[in-house]
Structure 1
């Protein structure tokens, strides 16, 4: 309208997109902070790494994603933290009363013990929730993992784990919502569903023919290094036997 009223040539949508893309901050306007003296100061904004557009997992553990499901039960909040390995679609979940980063760190430690290829973890994708800051982020740094974030209010950037969130709610959580009042009881029962999900439930990503565990075993059988390993070392690394035992495969 401004250009039309003044008979000025209007830039095309492609030109506008190129100008915005070329700006380091994408021309976003950040909120300003007003001090108690009434002075406007620039708000501190922590820069975080965003997920690269060309990042595609090439092996188990290459890219993992985490998220949180929030539920209300009897006027109190309960949280279910979820995990998915994008390459194999293996997924886990754990209920907790806390939304703190310490709870997310403790859940991640469980994932390290349970997932057969946790020694391959390289990229971790989360949203910008506070539970994935501080203790959780520090733990990723200790393990030399690259922590990338989605853009605010952009759940499609973490679509795989969001799909798992929907599935686990439709299939299990919403049917056992009352048990969330006692997370220990809830988690104990949740293990049976997770074993079913990872070992028996076929996935669309595998043409509805394989479960995540079956896909992992097929992938593993194709790796030439496995053939040169002793028998006790052929299934992964470290605590792998216990991990596959959790999945019901040994």
Structure 2
């Protein structure tokens, strides 16, 4: 007990074994030290090992309808007036190019990715219609490799695939959208405060979804193309391959 009260208080039974051998010349094995520590109720608590989720790598796909594959990523912006950054997390439907959900805030954590995903499912009426859920494709950012995000995907039986490191081309649609967000909004503004930045991003998303024309969508906006697809079965000009 004297050894444990000194340097040994932070040791597990294996290190205690070596300490007893070195300091006191005892001939003792790890099993004996473990039994003694257990009897004295001084075993260090075991770390809880979280179950790891298997990583599913993104693979080539041909997308034939909305809500089959959503890409998600995080973009950050800067507020000069307050000298701080903000984050924009966006989900895009690769078929109709619509931003189906986004989060903007001064932080961006796994819970924000989860909450935004749930809201997007309701906005697209996927849960109400009991329709098949989309595949989610992301990079390996901390929000998407987290236990919380993977548990949410398991809860809804959603397939979550992650692109290999240094392959942003496999997340090309959301990368392209965030470049537009940078070029046509963030880099054009010297934000004085967060509220101003929020209004600018909100206006950009609304304009992108409802007014920005896409040549691959017959020069329609994403929202208009989505509406016509539902009503008439309109297809993009070219097959959507990711």
Q: Classify 1:79/1:191 alpha carbon distance in 2 versus 1 (closer, same or farther; 3 Å).
A: closer
CA deviation vs aligned residue, 1:152-178 (integer Å, no higher than 9, x gap): 111111011100000111111223452
The reply to whether residue 194 of structure 1 matches residue 205 of structure 2 is yes
Q: Which residue of 2 aligns with 1:98?
A: 107
**Matched residue of 1:131: which SS?**
coil
Aligned CA-pair RMSD: 2.5
Determine the C-alpha separation between the residues in 1 that align with 2:123 and 2:88.
17
Q: How many residue pairs are counted as aligned between the two chains?
A: 176
Q: Which residue of 1 aligns with 2:71?
A: 65
Q: Which residue of 2 aligns with 1:174?
A: 187
Q: Which residue of 2 aligns with 1:122?
A: 134
CA deviation vs aligned residue, 1:161-217 (integer Å, no higher than 9, x gap): 1000001111112234526x52x654344333222211111113224x211112112
The TM-score, its normalising length taken from structure 2, stands at 0.64
CA deviation vs aligned residue, 1:107-127 (integer Å, no higher than 9, x gap): 222322333557443210000
Determine the C-alpha separation between the residues in 2 that align with 1:220 and 1:142.
28
Q: Which residue of 2 aligns with 1:216?
A: 226
Determine the C-alpha separation between the residues in 2 that align with 1:113 and 1:177.
34
State whether residues 60 and 120 of structure 1, in contact with CA within 8 Å, keep that contact through their aligned partners in structure 2: no
Q: What stretches of structure 1 of length at least 5 have no aligned partner?
A: 1-35, 37-44, 224-250
State whether residues 56 and 161 of structure 2, in contact with CA within 8 Å, keep that contact through their aligned partners in structure 1: yes
**Matched residue of 1:178: which SS?**
coil
Determine the C-alpha separation between the residues in 1 that align with 2:118 and 2:137.
16
Q: Which residue of 1 aligns with 2:11?
A: none
The TM-score, its normalising length taken from structure 1, stands at 0.62
Q: Given the alignment, which residue of 82, 95, 100 partners 1:87?
A: 95
Q: Classify 1:107/1:173 alpha carbon distance in 2 versus 1 (closer, same or farther; 3 Å).
A: farther
Determine the C-alpha separation between the residues in 2 that align with 1:205 and 1:76.
37
> How far apart are 1:102 and its partner, in Å?
1.2
Determine the C-alpha separation between the residues in 1 that align with 2:157 and 2:53.
20
Q: Classify 1:172/1:113 alpha carbon distance in 2 versus 1 (closer, same or farther; 3 Å).
A: farther
More contact order relative to length (CA 8 Å, sep ≥ 6) = 2
